[in-house]
Structure 1
Amino acid sequence: MLWQQSLQFAADMSSLSKSKTTSTFLASLFLASALNVPVTGFADENLAGKYYEDALVAYRKQDTGAAIIELRNALQQNPNYVAAHILLGELFLQKKSLSEAEVHLNLANQLGADRSLTVKALAQLYLYQIKYNLLLKEIQPSQFNRQLQPDLHLFRGHAYLQLNQISEALNEYDMAAQIDPSRVDAVIGRANALLRRNDLDGANQAIEKAMAMQPDNAGNWYVNGTINHVQGDLENAIKNYDKAITLMPDYQDARIARAGVLMDLHQDERAAEDLVYLREHYPFDPKAAYLHAVLLARNGQKDASTKELEAAADIIVSVKPEYLTQHSQTLMLSGLINYSLQRFDLAAEYLRQYVKTYPGQPGPYKLLASILLNKNEPETVIDLLRPVVASHPNDHRLLFLLGTAYMNVGKHDKANALLEKASAGEGGGENIHAEIGLNRLSMGQETLATQELEAAIKKNPGNTQAGIPLVAIYIRNGEGQKALRVAQGMHDKLPKNLTLLNLLGTAQVAMQNLKQARHSFEKAVELDPSFITAHLNLSKLDVAEKKIDKAKQRLVKLNQEFPDNVAVLIELSTVEQAAGNDDGANQWLEKARRVDQKSMPVLLAQMDLKIKTGRALEALSVGEAAELIDRENPQLLQALARGYLASNNREKALSIYRRMADQARLNVKKLYTVARYQIQAGDYPDAIKTLKQALVADEKHIPSQIALTEMELYHGKPVFAISRANNLLKEYPQRGFPHRLLGDIAAHDKNVDLAVSRYQTAFDLEPDTGLLMKLYQGLKQTGQNEKAFGLLSQWTQKHPKDLVPIAALAEELLQQGKLKEAQKHYEFLLAQYPNEPQFLNNLAYIYFTNGNGKALSYAEKAQKIAPEQASSNDTLGWILVNTGKAEQGLHYLRSAHSRMSQNPEIRYHIAVALDKLGRKEEAKQELEQIVNSNSSFNGMEQARILLDKLSH
């Protein structure tokens, strides 16, 4: 019985995530508070397992209807039964029920299925759905084992062929053939691609090779028919299509091609037979619908033809974007209103009309120029403002806007002259520095904005226009001391200003001076008891100090005084969530919604809670209401994207992220944020585009530089990653991150020794847990086990509360068979996170090995908390099998296999369970496959013995 875990520190340090290993007992470390998994009764699990086993029997007898019924019964008992979703998805795909297939395959993946079990079905589904780009984006053969790769290259080849990208299609077919030279469909695919290129000689050579390999392959006859068709030999084309369809009656392409030729030959009855068949078996194919419509029209059936055309349109129509409603007002007022609503395109249209009609007023030019700069149209701004600046040479705002436009097109001399003149113009430069800084900030150029805001504060420490955003920047970047200095300077100038007093408290919180922060907030409340913001901050301090009841009491009292204040109601909901009372949290938000149905913070809080509690469709319903209020709100867009992801509509979520990237324009902070969302959603190509756009906005933005380097390395062009990492090293030789990136590049190139050296340098410069774990893993891979173990031991002694390395150390001890020491560490970890499935699972293994009776209860708890993990299912299943409950155990072992299909140990456990249930032949088949694979695993010798026993 194997165990193992492999940990890495998550990027935002807020949670821990899993990485792949070769072991059965693999699990992720999640914060206990993030777990919200429905628990299924034990009796239901047994019944679900029985239904699934019955479905497998029916499936093997090719009784698809009975199998579907049994699988639905299984899912009625346990909606999270991954193996049942996988098989149902495949069966619905066979029946061409695409929507149902998509639901079950996506649910399987969402529930943690081993993607190698679903990827082929999904690829076929995408082809049927005409989602060629999605297939190419999501199906990456290199991510799967070599046995699967030829099929995936073929699917990609078909997608490229449909997109008429012939060279790419040929490359995919050649890759499939290179991995497995016996794949005749790769040769057929090549022939098809060459035909698309009008290379008849090449197509003929390829198909002759394919015919020699497999003469009864329907694809060969189809391509031969297509060659005849291209050459105008329609009679022989029909004969070859007939042969293909005889060999494979549901051959979609062959039937469409034959129907087309038959229509050309005016054999409409035969053509109709093919088209009716296609419409029945492939209702999602627009080509068939269109051809059928043409045929019906040709035969005078106008209404039926129209119906088919509408069906074709419904298949291919895309959702059109919703346009904003225009208001009929004066030109200038309309421009201002729409600008305020962030309807920039419409605002610009009105303002263009205004300045054309009334050219003498500079104000509208300024507003229009700001919009155009935000839309990244600096050339238009230059053309617009040059004559206006000539008429108003001392207007610092016009000078600033024109200077910014020149800067954005690379004319830096002109830009500097105008910006210096603007800066020197008003009040010694303090106000213009602040204004330039705010404009830089609005464009996402935070570094340049900070410099301008600092210049304004230097001239006047009490300048709130510059100081307030500067404090926010410092806090966001972890520069608490600077934030406190600026906040204190403003407060000293205006000691009774409640906003500044509250800001001072916020800066003190950033410095972890909680006592001083509480004093600042309390002083603000003392000056004005109705200052709700300070009350709310005091509540947040209570929660931070784990005084949940005190926070709630404070807020309930505040709610009694201000019953219609939605901020108080939202905070009450937040406190209820901190207490684990999601129902109570929802009630407060419902009350807030009744108070103000159009409050965006309330709507966003509702969406967040509903997504968190697994009610994504309800969240999207709230989002629809919010869109009517402000459809461009970036927080709303992110919430909608999260809702679509949670409801398994990934394509729509990704379209929202692309929309957010377009809206961000040249705002580097916004672009970087959108890129992180795209990365989290697995949309790597678009993330790369967004990060490149961010670096156009600010080439010095380190987070974007790091993220783009990582994206190019793993999902783009590694040569670009190498260049970027080396440039970063030249610029920041004493920082850890360039060395870490070069270490990642070396690891990607399988140069582990170099990777270890790079990680060591980075760790010496800026040690942190993430680098520690990379260095530890590298040392293990290079056989430096003692050094790796020593590294962990030293770190955990100095950082006794750093759970990631402690968990890794516990694993090391477990590997070494030091169960007593490992048990001590796991029990310590479990005391910190009593509902962490990984710790429960590994302790269950230790207890099982030592004969401790608590093993089963720990394994059951781990599986109930993390039913999506292969390890927890395998542990529980194996313990049940070995304690006389083989039928119950088999259900969990099936679930483990559906999530980690390549693990031979799980299949060995399944074989043992089948043997104990008297299903000897099935057990023998499982054992033959794992023994013949020559894989090394814990139990291999026992597997050989059992196979030998069953073979005699």
Structure 2
Amino acid sequence: MPNSSKPINSLLTCLILASVLNLPVSVIADENLAGKYYENALAAVRKPDVDAAIIELKNALQQNPNYVAAHILLSELFLQKKSLSEAEVHINLANQLGADRSLTVKALAQLYLYQIKYSLLLKEIQPSQFSVALQPDLHVFRGHAYLQLNQVSEALNEYDTAARIDPERIDAVIGRANALIRGNDLSGAAQAVDKAMSMQPDNAGIWYVNGTIKHVRGDLENAIKDYDKAIELLPDYQDARIARAGILMDLNQDQRAMADLTYLRENYPFDPKAAYLHAVTLARNGQKEASVKELETAADIIVSVKPEYLTQHSQTLMLSGLINYSLQRYDLAAEYLRQYVRTYPGQTGPYKLLATILLNKNEPEAVIDLLKPIVTGNPSDHRLLFLLGTAYMNVGKHDQAHALLEKASADGEGGDGSLHAEIGLNRLSMGQETLAIRDLEAAIQKNPANTQAGIPLVAIYIENRDAKNALRVAQGMHDRLPKNLTLLNLLGTAQIAGQNLKQARRSFEEAIELDPSFITAHINLSKLDVAEKKVDQAKQRLLKLNKQFPDNIALLIELATVDVALGANDSANQWLETARKIDQKSMPVLLAQMDLKIRTGRALEALAIGEAAELIDREDPQLLQALARAYLVTDNREKALSVYRRMADKAHFNVKKLYSVARYQMQAGDHVDAVKTLKKAVLADEKHIPSQIALTELELNYGKPVLAGNRAAYLLKEYPQRGFPHRLLGDIAARDQDFNLAAQRYQTAFDLEPDTALLMKLYQSLKQIGQSQKAFDLLSKWTKKNPQDLVPIAALAEELLQQGKLKEAQKHYEFLLSRYPNEPQFLNNLAYIYFNTGDGKALSYAEKAQQLAPEQASSNDTLGWILVNSGKAEQGLHYLRNAHSRMANEPEIRYHIAVALDKLGRKDEAMQELQQIVKSNLPFKDIEHARSLLEKLSQ
């Protein structure tokens, strides 16, 4: 019942998360009525009456759309009816709402098989992540997937693994027979069939396999009889119907075959084999148009869309290259320029342009091949040196790159620092931030008014929270160009970074004095107003400006932003609609609209905007990020991951961009591509510590632990006095179950760089090695020194709760609740404490916790148990069902359900729950009560 401790982020992080997620508040549900409908559905399933059960479940979801147990059961029932889209919807909703994956994974695996998503099944469904009782089912599903992919040995391994775990698994034996047939081992398959027949002679799968063996041996008539028997036992047997239809077609019995094929096309619309056979049958019977249509359908199912090839045409080569380069048609431009340099090799200009295009296309190897011989003949051409050096940098050959870029700087640098600026900007574009800062600073040293170098340098310093240097560079440029509005505005931004808000306001006001129509400065003043909690003042400032400049897009977007801060989302939407009417292709407007619609629960509208915006600019990184976010919110995960891959490609070797994309990929659970992205990042800059850390963690948890160990050892060698290498080595030791070594590593890291995250890792490792008192003392000592650090305080409160020191735990939870009054974990655990100490506030706290976190098993369990013990068993049962849906293997919840069923007079159902609890042998504090109740009900 108590919620286990979880990390509590800072208020700022919480606010950021809230702004990102901002899920809509669901309509207040009639929980009692929803629970009744669900119990009615269970009764209908037992009859069985699937259609009636579906109706009851839909009624339950009308009362409470977030009823996880109803979504889980509906997904199973829709799968029985082969309603795949409906099943998928409810599986996804159940998972989004926090369902225990052990309750949805079998349905998901079956869905993937029906949808012919074999590779996705193998990628996403890993039996080792689930209980031993569930693993045989998942191994069988994986065996089916491997078999469909014609990977026979892998399929046999999965079936045999399932049979080892559970020797009574008939489907594992049948799967093995099928795999042996696929491997042409008919005698082995026949032995497997004999074994299966002895186990379960009326199993449809056995008759299907027996028919398949005869089919392969050419005994077609007897094969049909076995297929007939399989379909008699299981009319919906897809493979048996396809096999029978195939034999009937071979025997020219098309009319009989058509019955099976029509059934299959109606019930399995995504099966390409059925579509293909149907097409052949139609063609043989003179229905050519219908046949072609079916063949196209089959092709659409199994063939991905081929990329389009750009057409070529003859024009003046150089002009065509220049024109297409200007239009950003880089493929055409590169082709024309390649032809040009082959025909006229004596000119360096086309080589430079072609190299620039190839770098834009992320083809640095091609640039190296192109320019190496040209640079040999033109060793003092600093632009050629610069391009070749950049190409070497892109492929990670930093020594060659450094030598060429240094020579380019020495040969081509004038007194204004322009080449240093250009090199710095290029390095910045590649994510080489440290080197970029060096070159940009060199440019500034030669010319403090060099805005080409200074403006991006200020931006870097602000991003890195180096306000002192940001202000130095910005002030230097402003002193030399005091009337430059852009620099005045930049100076104000740097002053904000340094917390000099009064000076910043003065800088923006000075810019406005120089030019009252300088909207950017007005908007920054508005942002200052909002930061100082003068939101109404900001709104009035912007409204006044809007009267003067009604068509200014940036102003309209800022008005929308302020209205969002005021909670006026409808008004914000109107401002953005106005902006879009002014410029339908404005990317900032489209992005702002997408963000607002996701915030307000209209994600599908956001997605429509994003997909339309993609037609305007497929390469805009902000759009790609927003589009991926919209895909994720609307459950189009694969499309989101595809967008992230595009972003990684677009990032080339820009370390910061690659790291950012990798974080998105990790958040979306695409760990394989995240590893690829991070490997590219560390190839570009092995000194980028965040990428090194993230890659080590990914390799440890989702890739190759050996590589993680090697990388962590390298980092320890490079940074022996930093905490993070020791922390990573501690993580590796913990994964290897060497908790003593993990504790040592974490202790070293904590001694070097103590922080809350390390504290919690050290605390957990000490618990693992049985040093609970030391772990407890560690928390106690830290919280005394850091009385506002909520994460360890929450862990300490949990410790006290588990030790039964309810009053001490209560004190900490009440303090935590004073800081976060709507944190369901604290409310739930306090409800538990109050319930056990007889405090009347227990029910109200439990109700509030469940309302705030209806997706958490613990909040539903606590509320349900309190209601059951308050004489409201029927009402409490509903919440306990919800708890079980999210934590299926927790015996205490099943015990509470059994008690509720017993109180409702449903003795048989209560006994079933109790038998499952006792059979599981999972320990919990009320196990003896469960045994006693089972004994009582069995009499």
- Match status 1:829 vs 2:816: yes
> Which residue, out of 15, 36, 42, partners 1:50?
36
User: C-alpha offsets along residues 755-802 of structure 1, whole Å, 9 cap, x if unaligned?
Assistant: 111111111112222112111222222232232222223333333332
1:843 corresponds to: 830
2:699 corresponds to: 712
Q: Is 2:393–2:684's contact at 8 Å kept on the other side of the alignment?
A: no
Equivalences for 1:18-417 in 2 at 5 Å? 36-41=23-28, 44-200=30-186, 202-316=188-302, 318=304, 339=325, 343-349=329-335, 351-352=337-338, 362-386=348-372, 389=375, 393-406=379-392, 415=401
Q: Which amino acid letter does the alignment assign opposite residue 866 of structure 1?
A: A
Higher RCO (C-alpha under 8 Å, 6+ residues apart): 1
Residues in 1 aligned to 2:302 and 2:420: alpha-carbon distance in whole angstroms: 53
Residues in 2 aligned to 1:554 and 1:832: alpha-carbon distance in whole angstroms: 34
> Which residue, out of 874, 878, 893, partners 2:861?
874
Residues in 2 aligned to 1:840 and 1:411: alpha-carbon distance in whole angstroms: 56
Q: Which amino acid letter does the alignment assign opposite residue 345 of structure 1?
A: D
- Match status 1:791 vs 2:770: no
Residues in 1 aligned to 2:837 and 2:22: alpha-carbon distance in whole angstroms: 29
User: C-alpha offsets along residues 390-409 of structure 1, whole Å, 9 cap, x if unaligned?
Assistant: 67554321221123335556
1:6 corresponds to: 5
Residues in 1 aligned to 2:277 and 2:112: alpha-carbon distance in whole angstroms: 22
Q: Which amino acid letter does the alignment assign opposite residue 922 of structure 1?
A: E
> Which residue, out of 600, 608, 628, partners 1:641?
628
2:529 corresponds to: 542
Instruction: Report the alpha carbon displacement of residue 329 of structure 1 after superposing the two structures with TM.
Output: 10
Residues in 2 aligned to 1:676 and 1:253: alpha-carbon distance in whole angstroms: 43
- Match status 1:588 vs 2:575: yes
Q: Could you say if the C-alpha distance between residues 559 and 852 of structure 1 is closer, same or farther in structure 2, counting changes exceeding 3 Å? A: farther
Q: Is 1:8–1:770's contact at 8 Å kept on the other side of the alignment?
A: no
- Match status 1:892 vs 2:876: no
Instruction: Report the alpha carbon displacement of residue 249 of structure 1 after superposing the two structures with TM.
Output: 3.0
Equivalences for 1:529-608 in 2 at 5 Å? 529-608=516-595
Secondary structure of residue in 2 paired with 1:699: coil
User: C-alpha offsets along residues 841-861 of structure 1, whole Å, 9 cap, x if unaligned?
Assistant: 223223333333333333222
Alignment root-mean-square deviation, CA:
3.1
2:906 corresponds to: 919
2:655 corresponds to: 668
Instruction: Report the alpha carbon displacement of residue 839 of structure 1 after superposing the two structures with TM.
Output: 2.3
Secondary structure of residue in 1 paired with 2:7: strand
Residues in 1 aligned to 2:49 and 2:730: alpha-carbon distance in whole angstroms: 54
Q: Is 1:7–1:773's contact at 8 Å kept on the other side of the alignment?
A: no
User: C-alpha offsets along residues 917-950 of structure 1, whole Å, 9 cap, x if unaligned?
Assistant: 2222222222222233232224333333333332
1:774 corresponds to: 761
Instruction: Report the alpha carbon displacement of residue 333 of structure 1 after superposing the two structures with TM.
Output: 7.1
Q: Is 1:39–1:865's contact at 8 Å kept on the other side of the alignment?
A: no
- Match status 1:929 vs 2:924: no
Q: Could you say if the C-alpha distance between residues 853 and 132 of structure 1 is closer, same or farther in structure 2, counting changes exceeding 3 Å? A: same
* Stretch of structure 1 that moved more, 900-909 or 571-580: 571-580
Equivalences for 1:509-520 in 2 at 5 Å? 509-520=496-507
- Match status 1:435 vs 2:422: yes
1:858 corresponds to: 845
Q: Unmatched 5+ residue regions in structure 2?
A: none
Q: Unmatched 5+ residue regions in structure 1?
A: 17-28
1:487 corresponds to: 474
Instruction: Report the alpha carbon displacement of residue 611 of structure 1 after superposing the two structures with TM.
Output: 1.3
1:621 corresponds to: 608
Secondary structure of residue in 1 paired with 2:861: helix
Q: How many residues align?
A: 938
Q: Is 2:396–2:683's contact at 8 Å kept on the other side of the alignment?
A: no
2:690 corresponds to: 703
Q: Is 1:9–1:769's contact at 8 Å kept on the other side of the alignment?
A: no
Q: Could you say if the C-alpha distance between residues 307 and 325 of structure 1 is closer, same or farther in structure 2, counting changes exceeding 3 Å? A: closer
- Match status 1:650 vs 2:649: no
Q: Could you say if the C-alpha distance between residues 581 and 337 of structure 1 is closer, same or farther in structure 2, counting changes exceeding 3 Å? A: farther
User: C-alpha offsets along residues 622-681 of structure 1, whole Å, 9 cap, x if unaligned?
Assistant: 113312321221211121111111111212212222222222233332222222111111
Q: Could you say if the C-alpha distance between residues 750 and 481 of structure 1 is closer, same or farther in structure 2, counting changes exceeding 3 Å? A: farther
Equivalences for 1:522-533 in 2 at 5 Å? 522-533=509-520
Secondary structure of residue in 1 paired with 2:748: helix
* Stretch of structure 1 that moved more, 115-124 or 257-266: 257-266
Instruction: Report the alpha carbon displacement of residue 325 of structure 1 after superposing the two structures with TM.
Output: 12
Residues in 2 aligned to 1:466 and 1:502: alpha-carbon distance in whole angstroms: 16
Instruction: Report the alpha carbon displacement of residue 201 of structure 1 after superposing the two structures with TM.
Output: 5.2
Instruction: Report the alpha carbon displacement of residue 613 of structure 1 after superposing the two structures with TM.
Output: 2.0
User: C-alpha offsets along residues 437-482 of structure 1, whole Å, 9 cap, x if unaligned?
Assistant: 2112223333433333233334444432222222322333344444
Instruction: Report the alpha carbon displacement of residue 358 of structure 1 after superposing the two structures with TM.
Output: 7.1
Residues in 2 aligned to 1:924 and 1:328: alpha-carbon distance in whole angstroms: 83
Instruction: Report the alpha carbon displacement of residue 95 of structure 1 after superposing the two structures with TM.
Output: 0.7
2:439 corresponds to: 452
Q: Is 2:22–2:599's contact at 8 Å kept on the other side of the alignment?
A: no
1:722 corresponds to: 709
Percent identity of the aligned residues?
Answer: 79
Q: Is 1:9–1:773's contact at 8 Å kept on the other side of the alignment?
A: no
Residues in 1 aligned to 2:100 and 2:716: alpha-carbon distance in whole angstroms: 38
Q: Is 1:542–1:551's contact at 8 Å kept on the other side of the alignment?
A: yes
Instruction: Report the alpha carbon displacement of residue 533 of structure 1 after superposing the two structures with TM.
Output: 2.6
Secondary structure of residue in 1 paired with 2:905: coil
Instruction: Report the alpha carbon displacement of residue 167 of structure 1 after superposing the two structures with TM.
Output: 3.5
Residues in 2 aligned to 1:443 and 1:47: alpha-carbon distance in whole angstroms: 59
Instruction: Report the alpha carbon displacement of residue 330 of structure 1 after superposing the two structures with TM.
Output: 8.2
* Stretch of structure 1 that moved more, 446-455 or 139-148: 446-455
